[in-house]
Chains A and B, each alone.
Chain A
Amino acid sequence: MTPRVPLGAPDKLTFLLSLVPYLIDHDGISVTDVAAHFGVAPERVRDAVTLIAVSGVPGDTSQYLPGDLFDIEWGQFEADDTIVLTHLVAIEDSPRFSAREAAALIAGLQYLSSLPENADRDAIASLMAKLSRSATAAPSQLAVSARTSGDAISLIQSALRSGVQVRFDYLNARGGQEERYVDPLRVESVDRDWYLRGWCHLRGAVRTFRLDRMSALTVTDRPVTSRTEELVLPETLFQGSESDLDVVVELAAGALPLLGDYLSGRPVQHLAGDLVRATLRVSHYHALKRLVAGLSGVVTVVEPAAAREIVRAWADAGAARYSEPAAPSAPAGPGE
């Protein structure tokens, strides 16, 4: 995954310091292979190699004489686009991690330990200890609790490896239960929420499913039918569709991040004080009612009136359960 952010000098310096030991270990490697390995454009590798080849130390004369500089086989570099270091200066080995870099990796590992294939806690612990010793300073105390995500991920992974579909019952936000056959493409997560992205045979399209909304998940013997290598997964988990509905809500500006995935790209309108009006995009109002009822006192739906009413009725039905007699009967859900 190539980052799209512009790279600053710290990134470029890290690249230079990492490239030297890699080139030492891979004598005569081509520019394109290096680029593929580091996930960068070939041009960046050429620029870096060119800079390394003219860099070095001031030396005894403080004049950066040829013996004080790195050197490469220029002919091979220019004619064949391959890299051979012929003279080395000052560094040979990979740099250590900074305290924060090591901390980011350790926290990432703790998070990944909830994946079934990383269930070996001892292996993870020994890897974390190695990272701590590979950092210049004690890694920052960042920690992430790993929640075991159940069997779903193992089942999906085995289907992915065997090239077969998975089958499960899936509740949509309206409360309807549907049987789905899906070609699994990727398991994704955001914090503790895990998702399957795959080709849904019911909808004939790529869809995202919450793992915790699936029941009776099984690995089938039906081979996948989609050509997964031809399917391009969009970067974001959720994509808008033509039929999405716009909803205007009011909230404090500071609470906007809570709506992350639902916010439309449209600019927010600032009201008195800290209040803003923002536009959400939802697939239908039944997804909205769950979102808004979970953000009590934070978000209020302004329009359309139909959306306000569905939210009101949902909360009203919820509240009504507390005035029921001791043995409550199943209340009729609103809206269906």
Chain B
Amino acid sequence: MSTTPEPINRVTVEERLFSLVLALIATEIGLTKADILSTVQGYRQRYVHSGDNASLERQFERDKDDIRELGIPLETVEQPDDPGNNRYLRYRIPKGLYELPTDVSFSGDELMLLKLAATVWREGSLSAESRRALTKLNALGGADGDPVLGYAPTLRVRDASFEPLSKAMDRAHVVSFLYLKPGEAAPRRRQVAPRAVVQHESRWHLFGTDLDAGATRTFLLSRIVGPVVVVPDLVAPESGPDAGQTALAELDALSAANVAEIEVLPGSDAAVRLGKRAADASGGAQPIAALVLHYTDLNILADELSGFGPEVLVLSPPALRDAVLDRLLRVRDAHEPLEVRS
């Protein structure tokens, strides 16, 4: 089999990947696939000279994807005299694009803040990316240990569609999913080019171009039912760098335009908690009976207000009043005493 003295398969995955990165950074002109497979640690032990290296080539393809996923700029260079010929494609990692730009530096305070920002995603989505970002931040120095004493802030994503949507956005894929709009009896399939995924008022939203409507739309992730699938052969149009802020600004404008008037029982949980959020709350020391709330989504506010039971009475708009009453009646009716079986 192999003529090399080293035992086969003793090289760990991280040693192979590390050796590949070092080799590709060290080369100016790039290495061909044959160069890599025959000389780089972790491949060369399994390389068969003038034989079949198909599984090793597949290994290299996977490693390439993994390395790019980490933000390492692995480039392919075509031979000018023989473009399109895969055999002579060369691979390299330009050092200047791999390293942090020389004119970027972070102060101690900035590093501390960034390390705290990395801990925000401690569970679920983006936790792996945050963990690696934290490792890279640690490479830059800064203070040790727990970043900012006394804080443990968390962002949480419970929507299964967050992961596929944000990945599709990164890859400029168009996606399709079933979306259940409140008030509609059945979900409808939408084709969307994702432009931003934003959290507003604790809810995650997708901001994107609805290809059927030919216009920008905002979708609540919690109303996406069923899987998000990538639409093949469609490439999302280039989106501006500020799509996220645009989406948030639109949601803020929507919230400012939607006004609900409610009455709360003085001293109740509703009075204390909603009072702090109310648009006209002035310090909140005095009991306020009537409050003005802004909202982006009537149904979400209706759910929240229903939870307060008799502590809240909706005065306007009528649609919100009806929605809350309807919810309370449904809860009441669903909890009538069960028939006692004997």
Whether both chains belong to one complex is answered with: yes
Choose from B245, B309, B325 the contact partner of A293 (Cβ within 8 Å). Answer: B309
Tell me if A135 is interfacial: C-beta within 8 Å of chain B: yes
* Interface residue tally on B, bucketed by range: 35 or more
Q: Is the CB of B310 within 8 A of A18?
A: no
Inter-chain contacts of B141 with A (CB < 8 A):
22, 25-26
With A1-B146, A311-B331 known as contacts, the answer to whether A37 contacts B138 (CB < 8 A) is yes
CB-CB under 8 A from A210, the residues of chain B are 273
A175 touches which of B44, B70, B131, B268 (Cβ 8 Å):
B268
Contact B154 A191 (CB under 8 A): yes
Q: Which residue of A lies closest to B284 (CB)?
A: A215
Could you say which of B71, B104, B198 has the most chain A C-beta atoms within 10 Å of its C-beta? B71
* A160 CB to nearest chain B CB (Å): 5
Query: Contact at A13–B17, with CB atoms within 8 Å?
Result: yes
| CB-based contact A294/B202 at 8 Å | no
> Which residue of chain A lies nearest to B98 when distances are taken between CB atoms in the complex?
A95
Asked whether any CB of chain B lies closer than 8 Å to the CB of A134, the reply is yes
Question: What residue of chain A has the Cβ atom nearest to residue B36's Cβ?
Answer: A58
Question: Whole-angstrom distance between the alpha carbons of A210 and B276 in the complex?
Answer: 12
A21 within 8 A of B: yes
B15–A290 CB distance below 8 A: no
**Would A15 and B310 be within 8 Å (CB), given that A96-B100, A187-B151, A297-B327 are in contact?**
no
Cα A305 to Cα B341 in complex, Å, equals: 13
The A-B contact count (CB < 8 A) is 383
The answer, among A56, A190, A212, for a CB contact under 8 Å with B273, is A212
User: Does the CB pair A15–B135 fall under 8 Å?
Assistant: yes
- Whether a CB of chain A sits under 8 angstroms from the CB of B230 is no
B211 is an interface residue with CB less than 8 A from chain A: no
Do A322 and B100 touch (CB < 8 A)? no
B99-111 contact mask (Cβ, 8 Å, vs A): 1 or 0: 1110010100010
Residues of A within 8 A of B14 (CB): 9, 12-13, 16, 51
Q: Is residue A330 within 8 Å, beta carbon to beta carbon, of the partner chain?
A: yes
- CB nearest neighbor in B for A150: B276
B106 touches A188 (CB 8 A): no
Q: A238 within 8 Å of B by Cβ? A: no
Complex Cα–Cα for A112 and B115 (A): 11
CB-defined interface of B31-73 with A at 8 Å, one 1/0 digit per residue? Answer: 0000000111100100000000000000000000011011111
- Is B114 among interface residues, defined by CB-CB distance under 8 A? yes
List of A residues within 8 angstroms of B292 by Cβ: none
Cβ contact within 8 Å between A14 and B269: no
Q: Determine if B272 and A212 form an interchain contact, defined as CB atoms under 8 angstroms apart.
A: yes
Is there a chain B Cβ closer than 8 Å to A157's Cβ? yes
Give the contacting residue for B313; candidates A9, A131, A321; CB below 8 A.
A321
Query: Could you tell me the distance between the alpha carbons of A301 and B151 in the complex, rounded to whole angstroms?
Result: 36
Instruction: Report yes or no: A213 in contact with B269, Cβ–Cβ below 8 A.
Output: yes
Q: Is A241 an interface residue (CB 8 A)?
A: no
B104 near A133: Cβ-Cβ < 8 Å: yes
Contact pattern, B 72-94, Cβ under 8 Å of A = 1, otherwise 0: 11000000000000000000000
* Least CB separation from A250: chain B residue: B334
Q: Which residues of A contact B149 (CB under 8 A)?
A: 160
List 19 additional A-B contacts (Cβ < 8 Å) besides A107-B155, A318-B308: A17-B18, A18-B138, A55-B41, A90-B22, A90-B23, A93-B99, A100-B129, A100-B170, A101-B132, A106-B117, A115-B151, A143-B244, A186-B150, A293-B327, A294-B303, A295-B307, A315-B335, A319-B328, A319-B332
List residues of chain B with CB under 8 Å of any chain A CB: 12-15, 17-19, 21-23, 25-26, 38-41, 44, 66-67, 69-73, 95, 97-101, 104, 106, 110, 113-114, 116-122, 126-133, 135-136, 138-141, 144-146, 149-156, 158, 166, 169-170, 195-202, 225, 239, 241, 243-245, 247-248, 251-252, 263, 265-269, 272-273, 276-277, 284-285, 303-304, 306-313, 321, 324-332, 334-338
20 A/B residue pairs, CB under 8 Å, sorted by A: A10-B66, A10-B69, A11-B128, A105-B117, A107-B155, A127-B114, A140-B166, A140-B169, A140-B170, A141-B196, A143-B244, A157-B150, A171-B269, A186-B151, A296-B303, A314-B331, A315-B331, A318-B312, A319-B325, A319-B328
